[in-house]
Structure 1
């Protein structure tokens, strides 16, 4: 019987993995940075700042929206979007929790 990751892993670990997947592409990281720098809703401007096809940028935006990191309408060149403050705050808290657990000062392995 094959185990489903959603059955094995619950709660914060699963959500953290979803966030990690959402930010696992450099274009998505750049999109988040652009939105953070603008600090307002953006309509269709991302395509001008990222050297990728409009359809590719739209796919990256959909991934970020699916993870709850951005909000807005993402459908073609007239799309409007912005950071989702709540989603960003949850991602930050979960990553900070992970890094607190794996504090590098406490690593004793010399392999």
Structure 2
């Protein structure tokens, strides 16, 4: 049985702060305090974003002593890549048509 996440991956990355948090965590594992230093919002605000990222499985948390550390889990991003790949041929068709139009217009 596949376990469904509480939040959709697309919903999770729709917020610019959450996308920035993912970029930070792509570099290294961090605590809430370390993450919060990078944003003009409270630790509570960062924690809310981390909760959404966790429930969409984009971040994994680990309790080490009294500190919770977070790291990126890139696997759910495959869903986004697959979705974009589906539309890729439409972009390629449009670019090919534009190239043909521009080349014909110059002749």
TM range (shorter): 0.5 to 0.7
Task: Give the corresponding residue for 1:103.
Answer: 91
Unaligned stretches of 5+ residues in structure 2: 98-107
Unaligned stretches of 5+ residues in structure 1: 1-14
> How far has the Cα of 1:64 moved from its partner?
0.7
For the residues of structure 2 that align with 1:31 and 1:72, how far apart are their CA atoms?
Answer: 13
Contact 1:70 1:87 in 2 (8 A): no
Q: Which has the higher strand share?
A: 2
Task: Give the corresponding residue for 1:92.
Answer: 81
Contact 1:64 1:70 in 2 (8 A): yes
For the residues of structure 2 that align with 1:66 and 1:95, how far apart are their CA atoms?
Answer: 22
| Higher RCO (C-alpha 8 Å, min separation 6) | 2
Task: Give the corresponding residue for 1:42.
Answer: 30
Number of paired residues?
87
Contact 1:73 1:80 in 2 (8 A): yes
TM-score by length of 2: 0.65
